[in-house]
Amino acid sequence: MRLTQQQLEAHLWGAANILRGKTAGQDYKNYILSLMFYKRLCDQWECEADEAIAELEKQQGRAFTEQQKALFRKRGEHRFNIPEGSRWGDVKSAATNLGEVLTKAMRAVANANDELRGVFTVDWNQPAPDGSGRPLIPNEVVHALIQHFDAHDLSNNSVPGDVLGRAYEYLIKQFADDAGAKAGEFFTPPAVVDTLVWILEPRQGDTIYDPTAGSGGMLVHSADYLREMGHHATAAQYFAQEMNWGNAAIGKINSVLHGLEADIKAGSSTITDPQFLEDGKVRKFSLVLANFPFSDEFWWLKPEQQTDDKKKKDKLKKEVFGKEGYKDPFWRFGRGTGFRAPPAGYGDYAFILHILASLTESGRAGVVCPQGVLFRGQPEVEEETGEFDEDGNPVIKRRKADDEHLIRKALLDGRVIDAVISLPLNVFYGAGVPACLLILRKDRPKARRDRVLLVYAARHYRELSAQNELRPQDVMRMLVHYHAYGDAGKVAKLVKQYGTRIRKQIDLREEDEVGRLMAEYAPQVEKLAQVEKDLTAARKELGNAKGKATKEKAEVSVAKLEKQRDKAAAKVAERDERIAESRGRAEDDREDVSKVGEELVALYADPDELLKHARVVGVDEIEENEFNLNIPRYVDTFEPEPRVEVKDALKALAEAERSVRDAETELGKLLKVAGYARE
């Protein structure tokens, strides 16, 4: 049976519900995702073997014996090697020590395939912390998970690769929602990723790199863009580094499921131990996308040193920071590079300069940053000390410019900052600080080499209970502003181009949401149909009942079934209400896309109004502002108070005064009842 994407998602999330709360913190996501991938590998191995055997039988015009089939399975060619004794059937047939059996099977598969090394990081046989020797995840829970996954074939026969890939991304998103603040370590909201990808437009032949990859979303969305443009995902090459082994494993699985053949390095810091090197310097790529850890205080420490106490950290700080700052052995910043080393307390520019050093001479990058990188750090200043020299002149003290100011100045002097786009607050998991998108290009068109586009996009978002969300129409605003780059003549065409694309995206999202709801409530729909059938039979039996006892029994049965029917019908009604909400939201978004398109065309026809949203600023003006890139310095972000008519204000004042009088009267009554006479 072929599974729809929504049926598969419901099935996979059902596995998560079995394990939730039985592992440390949010670790359960790594167990579920790795088990799903292992099942996929095993099922696809069997599928490939069956297809090859069927093809040979067809060519030779005869049926193979089971012994011949078994021999072929050992010798047959497969995308991945699943060693004998480590296949799904071997795990399923085990009765005891399932955690140990499963862990050994997964590790055997990883060891048999270079591409899968580091994918299976979880230990299903991990002992409980109480020293009892029992496994953290009981045997019966592992058994329940295996039985759950065994219910569906996950090979291409039942689940095409693109369906499984999208379901996997959905599962990561669900885990991110469940993890809350900690999700920022491995997940960037898809709308933000799409904005970066559509701004930078991956091309055939690109080498695409993410230095802090998390779950690999930047790479996957780049491949999706290439497919949308009519290319194969492998038209580009993909590279990434991720410090956290568990997150890197999720990213590796994600890339395999999407057919990227990505080279993902894990377990070390991109800053202290970059893994892609050439001749002692960092390797260069044509396209870099990143969402690095914001304002990392200990960016200069290796992962194993970050657990040290403060005394050890202070000693290490003296060793790695000299008079000229951090001594970078990979020539990204510091002596001879033209860039100051970042300050010890903020790692943002360490990542930005690593990204810049990782770009080819025609390379481009899109980076998620805290807005502090736009204005932190003071320029060189001269200050009066309050003292006077022998001639009576005030003594002037010169204070050196801060490192971050000097780095930002060097980036602007080098003309590599192409655009800055501010984002709404609270669109990232666990990051409440204001964020922005920083677009870097090494080889910029001459017409905009001395200019920087600044976009204020913080006004537009959908407010949700836990965080804010960028809507498709909000993404459209940013894309039109960026690709127009101040040219009003381009806007109408861009509005049409992105309006068409984003409406399709809204349609697909609506289809997915409705499909998920249909899959989620399918058991209740089936139950309602069965209860209706049983109720019809029970009523017929009641009509034919003879004798008081028989009739009473039939009435009880009908009443019981009616309650079950009402309960199931309420669930189905709940589904229909949620579907209506989803369709209504999608329709609102489609209408908003049209409205935003009209608004953008009108904005670019009115320069004064455009200044409230976006502006192309000359580097000379930025220099006059001491290389401060804080967007409100250049774009009018002021939100005027809503205009109130005098008559409305007088009416509101009268109502307020009446409320005060009513409250005083009520208070007097209460005081009188309590025995306090008012004078």
pLDDT per residue as tens digits for the range 160-215: 888 888 888 888 888 877 766 566 677 889 999 999 999 999 999 999 999 999 98
285: domain CATH number is 3.40.50.150
In this predicted structure, the answer to whether residue 585 has a pLDDT above a threshold of 90 is yes
Taking alpha carbons only, the member of 456, 406, 489, 474 closest to residue 609 is 456
235 and 371 part of one domain = yes
Residue-level pLDDT at 261: 86
Residues 6+ away with beta carbon under 8 Å from 130: none
Interval 658-671: pLDDT, tens:
888 888 888 888 77
User: Do 359 and 496 reside in the same domain of the chain?
Assistant: no
Give pLDDT tens digits for 458-491: 999 988 877 889 999 999 999 999 999 999 999 9
Tell me if 429 sits within 8 A of 180, measured CB to CB: yes
- Give a yes or no: residue 635 inside a domain: no
Helices 161-179, 28-60: axis angle to 10 degrees equals 170
Of 213, 254, 211, 212, give the one whose Cα is nearest residue 233. 254
Query: What tens digit of pLDDT does each residue of 500-524 get?
Result: 999 999 999 999 999 989 988 999 9
Where residue 277 falls among pLDDT bands split at 50, 70, 90?
very high
Same domain? 87 vs 202: no
At residue 62, the pLDDT reads 82
Identify the residue whose tokens are 């307390």: 345
The residue behind tokens 């409406």 is 503
Q: Residues 411, 518: one domain? A: no
Residue 281 sits in the same domain as residue 428: yes
Domain that holds residue 567: 467-611
Q: Span 259-285, mean pLDDT?
A: 94
Query: Which pLDDT score is estimated for 564?
Result: 93
Tokens linked to 124: 């299903």
Tell me what the pLDDT averaged over the chain comes to: 88
Domain boundary among 136, 159, 182: 159
Residues 598 and 675 in one domain: no
Q: What is the CATH number of the domain that holds 73?
A: 1.20.1260
Average the pLDDT over each of 74-78, 88-92, 232-236, 547-551 and give the range with the smallest value.
74-78
Query: What would the pLDDT profile of 292-333 be if each residue is shown by its tens digit?
Result: 999 888 898 888 887 777 777 877 887 788 776 788 899 999
Position 145 confidence tier, pLDDT thresholds 50, 70, 90: very high
Q: Is the domain of 435 the same as that of 479?
A: no
Last residue of a domain, one of 135, 159, 183: 159
- pLDDT tier at 28, thresholds 50, 70, 90: confident
**143 and 275 share a domain?**
no
In this predicted structure, what is the pLDDT of residue 639? 62
Assess whether pLDDT exceeds 90 at residue 271: yes
DSSP state of 10: H
Torsion of CA 349, 354, 360, 365, to 10 degrees: -50
Confidence of residue 654 (pLDDT cuts 50, 70, 90): confident
pLDDT digits (tens, 9 = 90+) for 375-408: 999 888 777 667 777 777 777 777 788 999 999 9
| pLDDT > 90? residue 71 | no
Residues 438-447 pLDDT 10s:
999 999 999 9
Q: Is residue 175 in some structural domain?
A: no
The answer to whether position 385 is within a domain reads: no
**Under a CB-based contact definition with an 8 Å cutoff, are residues 286 and 261 in contact?**
no
pLDDT(646) > 80: no
Please report how many Cα atoms fall inside a 13 Å half-sphere around the Cα of residue 328, on the Cβ side: 28
Tell me the helix, strand and coil percentages in the chain, rounded to 5: 55, 15, 35
- In terms of domains, do 110 and 239 share one? no
Do residue 339 and residue 253 come from a single domain? yes
DSSP string, 132-186: S--BSS-HHHHHHHHHHHHTS--STTTS-HHHHHHHHHHHHHHHHHHHGGGGGGT
Confidence of residue 430 (pLDDT cuts 50, 70, 90): low
Is position 620 within any domain? no
Residues 408 and 277 in one domain: yes
**What is the predicted pLDDT for the residue at 348?**
95
Rounded CA separation 630/608 (Å): 20
- Tens digit of pLDDT for each residue in 209-244? 999 999 899 999 999 999 999 999 999 999 999 998
Note whether 601 and 492 are within 8 A (CB). yes
Does any domain span residue 62?
yes
Residue 26 pLDDT class (50, 70, 90 cuts) = low
Q: How confident is the model over 588-608, as pLDDT tens digits?
A: 999 999 999 999 999 999 999
Is position 624 within any domain? Answer: no
Q: How far is the C-alpha of 620 from the C-alpha of 603, rounded, in Å?
A: 25
- Asked if residue 625 is part of any domain, the answer here is no
Tell me: do 581 and 474 sit in the same domain.
yes
What's the pLDDT score for residue 679? 52
What is the distance between the alpha carbons of residues 624 and 85, in angstroms, rounded to a whole number? 71
- When divided into structural domains, the chain yields a total of 4
Question: Is the distance from CB of 536 to CB of 561 less than 8 angstroms?
Answer: no
152 lies in a domain? yes
What per-residue string of b and e applies to 157-187 under the rule 16 or more CB within 10 Å gives b? ebbeeebbbbbbbbbbbebbeebeeebbbbb
